[in-house]
Structure 1
Amino acid sequence: MKKLLLVPLVALLVPAHAWAQTVSVSGRVLDSKGIAQPGVTVLERGTSNGTSTDASGRFTLSVSPTATLVVSAIGAATQQIPLNGRTTLEVRMQDAATDLNEVVVTGSRATEGRSNILTTSPVDVISPREIKAFAQVDVAQILTYAAPSFQSSRQAVSDGTDHVDPASLRGLGPDQVLVLVNGKRRHSSALVNINGTVGRGSVGTDLNTIPNASIKRIEVLREGAAAQYGSDAIAGVINIQLKDDTTGVQASSTVGQTYEGDGDTYQADASVGIGLGGRGFLNLSGQFQNRAYTNRSGDDTAPLMYLGSNSGNYPAAANTEQRRRELKAQDDALVAQNGFDRRNMRVGQSESRNIGGFLNSGFTLAPSIGLEAYVTAGVTHRTGKAAGFYRLPNQLTQSDLTIYPNGFLPFINTTINDQSVLAGVRAKVLGFEADLSNTFGRNDIRFDITNTLNASYPLGLSPREFYAGTIAFQQNTSNLNFSRHFTDILGLATLNVAFGGEYRRDNYSIAAGERGSWDNFGRTTAAGAPTASGAQVFPGYRPTDELNRSRTNTAGYLDLESDLTEKLLVRAAGRAERYGDFGNNVSGQLAARYSILEDVAVRGTIGNGFRAPSLQQRYFTNTSTQFVSGVPQQVLTVNNDNPIVRNQFTDAVKGFGVPSLKQEKSTNYSVGVTGRVLKTMTVTVDAYQIDIRDRIVLTSQFARSGVATGTVDQILASYPEIGRVQFFANAIDTRTRGIDIVVNERLSVGESRLGLTVAANFNETKVRQINTAPTIENDPSLQNTLFDRQQRARIEAGQPRSKINLTANYGYRIFNVEVRTVRFGQVQYKDADPTRSFIDQTFSAKWVTDLTLSAQVAKFATVFVGVNNIFDVYPDRFRTNPRNNPNNFSVDPNLSFSSSLDNTNRGRIVYNPNQFGYNGGFYFARLVLDLPTSSN
């Protein structure tokens, strides 16, 4: 690593003539009829230096003055255009019988770009047209509908997860996909998901902190790539390429609303590209988005007023239908008398207001020596508001009827601030392309709780708002990379050599909330029951939860890629990492592509990877009050270093004997076929298997038995106020198998343009082994708690195991039609308790169809109108009062009160959000303006 850092000093001794001068070239690409062509690839021949045209067909690229540009597009003849001193171009594309897919840079460090059907690994490219064509206005939702292997759905009633959408690739966890921006590692969110949602126990990257207006295109590498990029790239890599044009101002405005009349969305964004005297570019982008909440809750069917502190459960005497009818009549009378609204929940997307901006710039510092500097910086500020569970007027330990006579609906308000700065220099050093960069990123989330109270205050004295604390994560990454393309060396036609090093420092912190948000002030109910501590819905972080932890990582890699023959491309990569908190890791990958025929090839990879435990998983700790069957329980989420977790049961301070967290290790296999059919159709089929060992999960809650000699009771002996405990552990081994299929067809007939895409992902994840600890092994009652059946179902079938995307776009002159239908496969829900299997449910697959019409109404203006989910499709409803529920006294829907075994939902949560959400149909209109300015 020290030797690598000396290379920039050596570069100062290299003669000036050894470095090439660069110039900025801008232009516009049109078809044979003079219509702008977006998404056309423009590449400097012999390099990976390239870009693609924007929505108006414009591009800007810094190249050598003697460069030849390669301009290519699907369904058009490739053109090679020598600059010959020019800095502006207008290119007219001509129809051709062959096509060329977009050149991609993710998944290979070769200096010469390759089409995404010529790479050793599958890569999806989400173009600017796809980003703007449909109703989605944030990155996670765009990818969900555009990339079948990617899945993200908004959650509800899940604390911080309401505001940071968990996302996955190939059915794996949010933290098993690496996100890059301009090829550099993006920092993760500060939030660790500890609620019962998809991605429970994981930490992902908040994709929605990146404004759409700043994005040139998105590349999704569907392949484990830890050997190339490091930790987190087990499932694949998402590389967001930012705009680098200098062609003027692009602006858009979107308004929309659901069929139900809620969820109003307003978005305005703009980007401006400015030329810097022919020596570089400056692109500035900004976005404002306001999203209203939606509510798809049902009426509360539980007893509300007359049962006192029994929390909505029937008394033991209510075991006949006649008695239940009498109680229902009494309850209805009290509800009417008090003006209570049985639709007392808010279940849907949260309120959100987002404003952010990005800067992306490159500049040739010294034209005579070709030294280029680049800077990327972004700032996002987002506020959100989401509801929790309603506190009923009969839940006396959680409420104060002198403040809220009818109970109350508490809200979690978040303020998310995200900042990032990437700066670096590129140059030729001893014949190598050298790139030295530093990336800093920070994400912090502040929690403020409103319309709430602390029930332990004396009656009538509790505040109704509390500051509950702040969590923050920041990351600083320094990279030094070298690459060089050799020809006719060692008997090889080509050899690309890339190597480099990385130094990274991560930091995670928790700041406590105000005292009233977490403390207990001693009030008891009239019956003498203790009241709950802290702010209802989200007790604040306590001073004992506060922490500030850091770690470092040092890594080095080597990447070789060669065309061994005209038909055989081989790539090998290796990476060694050392973490300051848990040790070393080495990963490697071997990949190849072989052309069987001129238009048909097979490709495959084999490799091992890893994912380091996040600092959030290592150090997060929190104490909260949760109600289980109406009884308040103090639940401790304890970090892995605590004696409760680490000690053996035989030690003086007894514990579960769980070892320290270590890295997840993976083995990836894939094999695929790529080809062209009838010259205009491309087909890729890739099958894969991903084995993950020592996968990190958040355990279920280990509860006291109430007997002093019970295992958990003895472990928690030093914590008399704690009733339940949970922690992170390397608890399971999993295997994921799947297949990706992508078929593209592009046709041009006269003035008509037709594009057809079929894309599908089918995957299955199975838990192969549960890794227990000595204390747990010796107590069978604890084995199911470590990783219960609900958590298993969440990993194996909690998200769609298949997704099929059928897309067609048709253009004629100034008009364009986009139709897309996506089939979201079935998902399953299982309860943690095997005795409650009667509420298990499988939710059937659904098709969601989108339609957009657009017209270029003026030279620089295009209008879009459309509908997302045009047929207003919803997921299957949760069943209420299943007939095989032994405690269900009646199947009459008018008497569908919950039993004591199912007193959480009570008819209020109607849909499962994990397929495609449950907002229903959404119609929108969008205006896009493209205003050219001077290119220099």
Structure 2
Amino acid sequence: MKKILLLVVLLLALVPAWAQNIAVTGRVTGGNGAAQPGVTVLQRGTTNGTSTDNDGSYRIQVPADAVLTFSAIGSATQQISVNGRTSIDVRLQDATTDLNEVVVTGSRATEGRSNILTTSPVDVISAREIKAFAQVDVAQILTYIAPSFQSSRQSISDGTDHVDPASLRGLGPDQVLVLVNGKRRHSSALVNINGTVGRGSVGTDLNTIPNASIKRIEVLRDGAAAQYGSDAIAGVINIQLKDDTTGLQATSTVGETYEGDGRLYQADANVGVGLNGRGYLDLSGQFSNRGYTNRTGTDTAPLIYLGANGGYPGSANTEQARRDLKAQDDALVARNGYNRDNLRLGQSEARNYGGFMNFGYKLVPALGLEAYVTAGATRRTGKAAGFYRLPNQVTQVDLTLYPNGFLPFINTTIVDQSIISGLRGQVLGFDVDLSNTFGRNEIRFDISNTLNASLPIGLSPTNFYAGDIAFRQNTSNLNFTRRFTNVAALSTLNVAFGAEYRYDNYQIKAGERGSYENYGRLVSPGTFAAAGAQVFPGYQPSDAVDRSRTNTAGYIDLESDLTDKLLVSVAGRAERYSDFGNNVSGKVAARYSVLPDVAVRGAISNGFRAPSLQQRYFTNTSTQFVQGAPQQVLTVNNDNPIVRNGFSATGTGQQGFGIPALKQEKSVNYSLGLTARILKTATLTADAYQIDIRDRIVLSSQFSRANATVTSILGTLPVSQVQFFANAINTRTRGIDIVANERVEVGPGRLSLTVAANFNQTRVRKINSSATIDADQTGLQNTLFDRQQRNRIESAQPRSKINLTAGYALGMFSVEARTVRFGAVEYKDARLGSPAGNPNFLYSSIDQTFSAKWITDLTVGAQLTKMIGLTVGANNIFNVYPDQYKVNPRNSTTNFSVDPLLNYNSTLDNTNRGRTIYNPNQFGYNGGFYFARLNVTLPTN
């Protein structure tokens, strides 16, 4: 009886609340009168919401005095008071800012400006654009949307198979700064030391951020070191996370390549929860399982089981002896069922789990005091192959374990964690932001299907733990911002200033002993087996490092509308690093309205990039196969006496290479642009730029003991080659960015059009050598920075990219089409001419230009119900591939026109042997990819 009475009391208590609620229905249409499905209808200040169905209708229970918010991408948000009404129809108008989104990157003004009103060019990529096509990670999304951004997946390049190198305006991965919610994002622990674009650089792993968490991405295409500090030479990428309260959005994507591999299963979700009108809590999660692709060619090695290293022994020095040996080997290949398609060349396997939280809460609304926290964690595992070890490569195999040779794998576990916490409020009229940002990236290497060939026959394990690398960063900021009006003759003046303290830490942890040890197995008189785990020898105890540094910085940023037509901004920043010293940067930018809808803008600035801890302290000794022969290659850090002007580490008294200590790269940026609005619906921006960089840090080519100077420097060290980091080059980059947008009503639907393009050119203007290297007359300067290294800087990535995008929405249906022209890229071999003047030797690759290609994507979407949408389509719908590598000399288009039985040379052509078909640096080589995506939206009422 007591329970019944309690229930009655509770019901009576709720009656007044229910009595105040009414059911509101209506229909939402667009500017042309067509129904608008999927429009969010939300009771302001609450999580009570719904969305319109296929004919634009909605129904919601709200208090009689509620305010309804109607919002949709591409339309201006409307807020309407209910005032007791039960029927409200709404006509949404096109958002004038959708073509020129309000941005915050590049300015600390208290009020954002549209991207055609800023002093520097900024691209804005919305959540809708991120989900429009089937690119599923941030790096690939930006590659296909922002022409000035480029990233492509690499293959058989150790850790770089798992962390995509990326660049902005043709510069290096470490010359663009990444922010999350305006706060500095930590870099990856990986330094790229293999022969890929971005060799020697340390970038930021963009793919650790789930797509579902992103509200928009702002790409500032201008030097901004004076505003944000180190790394912002090419520009800034600011990822703004969702902070709305519109309910649950979940997406599931499945797809595979036309070849039937590279299967993708991805699911992500985001839920936004309101906190009684005082804040928000956004939670996002993502799971992704990506299969590997394989686009390898057939191994052309004449010999698999007999001979040595795929070639012929010296005793087979007649044509008949070679043919007899070849016949015997072919018989073994047939008997054992050996598959000459023995490589895996393509994207790596990857499985990713990640989540992000974005939280804000007004502690004291009257004072504007707000606490915020942004936290994320990602765990990604990957598996990528190395080069196949043939059974006749006796220094690398153990036939009792792998009678037919083996394909070794590098397995990575990447753990990425970050947290931003802070307080925002007002003090003495200033907006004050106190924050702390912590980030950590760790990569573990485990090698499988391998061996340590130096162990006694039959005793080697086949799996090894090869070590860890880790990078941590903690950044504390205190920022003050205030907007003044009517200051003297100025119409407005925005003042911002602040301070920053940053702590960086880099670690290398040694692998297990068997992954790096040389156990001394003798293969034949004078020939020893290769040491360490094949494909990736582990980090040795001598490689282990734990180094830190600190940085203190202060800045001031002024921005003023001097007149109604002239906007000017000035910024300055001073930094002090504990490991190399001081730096001062400045920037002046302006925008002048020539006509009401036409303006010119420009900027001049100097910037810098501090050498990363990875570049300063990475060291490693590994067995690498250089032109077919195993070499012990030492990557030594810049502080080592071998590199510097001190005496060599061997105690022989010989001088080192004479390379100075690493210092910051310094840049001078110039930009000049035009912005225009045409007929109120179209916008156009065109911005030309020049970026001069002094003392760019590169990883040298490999100095070999074949040179007498190198031999004297290395002394008795048990290595045959050495490479190191140096401020070795000065470069100049010139280019232009053009972006045009238009949206018009076509029939009953709406058509949006975008044309965007980037054209750039980088040239190496000077090589900064040393007295020791310059004094050597045998070409050591060419080794410090050889022609292949120059190629990676100047022409290994597209020097132009053009993006044409069209979207048409009609009721419940939408179509998105995009075609991107990736400009030509070049490959240049480090070797000049043919060996010993013999044009018949077969090279694995030659100097070659790969022609420009158009890649076309198409998607079709349908909003099946107000909660369920379906998208199907294809990326690279015409299955376009890059040009194939040519494999014989003098740019001949005929592959292997010379008889390989008579002219094969294993020393020159052991690594590739016809298996590498495509250049990955334009747009990859996966070919076409088709997919289906299901979208579910659930209000949280």
TM-score normalized by structure 1? 0.90
2:299/2:342 contact within 8 Å kept: yes
Q: What does the per-residue CA deviation read over 1:143-194, in whole Å, with 9 as the maximum and x for residues that have no partner?
A: 0000000000000000000000000000000000000000000000000000
- Kindly tell me: are residues 750 and 399 of structure 1, through their superposed partners in 2, closer, same or farther at Cα, counting changes over 3 Å? same
The reply to whether residue 594 of structure 1 matches residue 592 of structure 2 is yes
Q: Secondary structure at the match of 1:692?
A: strand
Distance 1:99 1:449 in 2: 49
One-letter amino acid of the counterpart of residue 348, structure 1: G
One-letter amino acid of the counterpart of residue 379, structure 1: A
One-letter amino acid of the counterpart of residue 776, structure 1: I
- Kindly tell me: are residues 665 and 637 of structure 1, through their superposed partners in 2, closer, same or farther at Cα, counting changes over 3 Å? same
Once the two structures are superposed, the pairs formed by residues 566-605 of structure 1 within 5 Å of their partners are 566-605=564-603
Distance 2:889 2:671 in 1: 43
Q: What does the per-residue CA deviation read over 1:582-628, in whole Å, with 9 as the maximum and x for residues that have no partner?
A: 00000000000001111110000001000000000000000001123
1:16 corresponds to: none
- Kindly tell me: are residues 840 and 318 of structure 1, through their superposed partners in 2, closer, same or farther at Cα, counting changes over 3 Å? farther
The reply to whether residue 920 of structure 1 matches residue 919 of structure 2 is no
1:18 corresponds to: none
> Identity over aligned residues, as a percent?
75
2:28/2:52 contact within 8 Å kept: no
1:440 corresponds to: 438
2:887/2:895 contact within 8 Å kept: no
1:643/1:653 contact within 8 Å kept: no
Structure 1 position 834, deviation (Å): 1.6
Distance 1:524 1:320 in 2: 29
2:744 to 737, 743, 747: 747
One-letter amino acid of the counterpart of residue 259, structure 2: E
2:773 to 743, 755, 776: 776
One-letter amino acid of the counterpart of residue 413, structure 2: T
1:476/1:505 contact within 8 Å kept: yes
2:159 corresponds to: 160
1:738 corresponds to: 735
- Kindly tell me: are residues 877 and 435 of structure 1, through their superposed partners in 2, closer, same or farther at Cα, counting changes over 3 Å? same
1:695 corresponds to: 696
2:915 to 908, 920, 930: 908
The reply to whether residue 859 of structure 1 matches residue 866 of structure 2 is yes
2:848/2:891 contact within 8 Å kept: no
Distance 2:95 2:164 in 1: 43
1:663 corresponds to: 664
Structure 1 position 894, deviation (Å): 9.9
Structure 1 position 74, deviation (Å): 9.7
Distance 1:303 1:910 in 2: 18
Distance 2:679 2:895 in 1: 61
- Kindly tell me: are residues 76 and 340 of structure 1, through their superposed partners in 2, closer, same or farther at Cα, counting changes over 3 Å? closer
1:568/1:594 contact within 8 Å kept: yes
One-letter amino acid of the counterpart of residue 701, structure 2: S
Q: What does the per-residue CA deviation read over 1:283-339, in whole Å, with 9 as the maximum and x for residues that have no partner?
A: 000000000000000110012335433x12345677887776555444322211222
2:242 corresponds to: 243
Q: What does the per-residue CA deviation read over 1:631-680, in whole Å, with 9 as the maximum and x for residues that have no partner?
A: 32211100000000112579935201111000000000000001012221
1:728 to 725, 728, 731: 725
2:508 to 507, 510, 525: 510
One-letter amino acid of the counterpart of residue 913, structure 1: P
1:359/1:376 contact within 8 Å kept: yes
- Kindly tell me: are residues 100 and 402 of structure 1, through their superposed partners in 2, closer, same or farther at Cα, counting changes over 3 Å? closer
1:843 corresponds to: 850
Once the two structures are superposed, the pairs formed by residues 618-637 of structure 1 within 5 Å of their partners are 618-637=616-635
1:370 to 343, 362, 368: 368
Structure 1 position 368, deviation (Å): 3.4
1:548 corresponds to: 546
- Kindly tell me: are residues 543 and 858 of structure 1, through their superposed partners in 2, closer, same or farther at Cα, counting changes over 3 Å? same
Q: What does the per-residue CA deviation read over 1:435-474, in whole Å, with 9 as the maximum and x for residues that have no partner?
A: 0000000000000000000001100000000000000000
Structure 1 position 895, deviation (Å): 8.8
One-letter amino acid of the counterpart of residue 700, structure 2: T
One-letter amino acid of the counterpart of residue 392, structure 1: L
Structure 1 range deviating more: 773-782 or 223-232: 773-782
Q: Secondary structure at the match of 1:129?
A: helix
Structure 1 range deviating more: 894-903 or 109-118: 894-903
Distance 1:823 1:525 in 2: 52
1:302/1:898 contact within 8 Å kept: no
Q: Secondary structure at the match of 1:644?
A: coil
Structure 1 position 690, deviation (Å): 0.3
Structure 1 position 340, deviation (Å): 1.1
1:881/1:898 contact within 8 Å kept: no
Once the two structures are superposed, the pairs formed by residues 422-461 of structure 1 within 5 Å of their partners are 422-461=420-459
Distance 1:829 1:321 in 2: 34
2:681/2:744 contact within 8 Å kept: yes
Q: Secondary structure at the match of 1:714?
A: helix
Distance 2:439 2:818 in 1: 36
- Kindly tell me: are residues 485 and 647 of structure 1, through their superposed partners in 2, closer, same or farther at Cα, counting changes over 3 Å? same
Distance 1:802 1:728 in 2: 29
Q: Secondary structure at the match of 2:527?
A: coil
Distance 2:138 2:565 in 1: 37
Distance 1:593 1:70 in 2: 35
The reply to whether residue 108 of structure 1 matches residue 115 of structure 2 is no
Structure 1 range deviating more: 343-352 or 678-687: 678-687
Structure 1 position 896, deviation (Å): 9.1
1:213/1:271 contact within 8 Å kept: yes
Structure 1 position 29, deviation (Å): 9.2
Structure 1 regions of 5+ residues with no counterpart?
A: 1-27, 45-52, 58-67
The reply to whether residue 233 of structure 1 matches residue 240 of structure 2 is no
Once the two structures are superposed, the pairs formed by residues 2-151 of structure 1 within 5 Å of their partners are 31-32=30-31, 33=34, 35=36, 92-94=91-93, 101-151=100-150
2:225/2:607 contact within 8 Å kept: yes
- Kindly tell me: are residues 528 and 645 of structure 1, through their superposed partners in 2, closer, same or farther at Cα, counting changes over 3 Å? closer
Distance 2:260 2:923 in 1: 19
One-letter amino acid of the counterpart of residue 201, structure 1: G
Distance 2:29 2:465 in 1: 56
Once the two structures are superposed, the pairs formed by residues 756-795 of structure 1 within 5 Å of their partners are 756-780=753-777, 781-795=779-793
Once the two structures are superposed, the pairs formed by residues 468-487 of structure 1 within 5 Å of their partners are 468-487=466-485
Q: Secondary structure at the match of 2:367?
A: coil
Distance 2:278 2:908 in 1: 70
- Kindly tell me: are residues 372 and 306 of structure 1, through their superposed partners in 2, closer, same or farther at Cα, counting changes over 3 Å? closer
Structure 1 position 904, deviation (Å): 1.4
1:24 corresponds to: none
1:177/1:237 contact within 8 Å kept: yes
- Kindly tell me: are residues 78 and 816 of structure 1, through their superposed partners in 2, closer, same or farther at Cα, counting changes over 3 Å? closer
2:674 corresponds to: 673
Structure 1 position 743, deviation (Å): 0.7
Q: Secondary structure at the match of 1:929?
A: strand
One-letter amino acid of the counterpart of residue 422, structure 2: G
Alignment RMSD (CA, Å): 3.0
1:888/1:899 contact within 8 Å kept: no
Distance 2:764 2:560 in 1: 38
- Kindly tell me: are residues 352 and 897 of structure 1, through their superposed partners in 2, closer, same or farther at Cα, counting changes over 3 Å? farther
Q: What does the per-residue CA deviation read over 1:549-580, in whole Å, with 9 as the maximum and x for residues that have no partner?
A: 00000001000011111111001100000000
Q: Secondary structure at the match of 2:194?
A: coil
Larger Cα Rg: Structure 1 or Structure 2? Answer: 2
TM-score normalized by structure 2? 0.89
The reply to whether residue 807 of structure 1 matches residue 817 of structure 2 is no
One-letter amino acid of the counterpart of residue 906, structure 1: R
1:9 corresponds to: none
Structure 2 regions of 5+ residues with no counterpart?
A: 1-26, 57-66, 836-842
1:289 corresponds to: 288
- Kindly tell me: are residues 605 and 196 of structure 1, through their superposed partners in 2, closer, same or farther at Cα, counting changes over 3 Å? same
1:303/1:328 contact within 8 Å kept: yes
Q: Secondary structure at the match of 2:809?
A: strand
Distance 1:631 1:99 in 2: 58
- Kindly tell me: are residues 37 and 895 of structure 1, through their superposed partners in 2, closer, same or farther at Cα, counting changes over 3 Å? farther
- Kindly tell me: are residues 146 and 322 of structure 1, through their superposed partners in 2, closer, same or farther at Cα, counting changes over 3 Å? farther
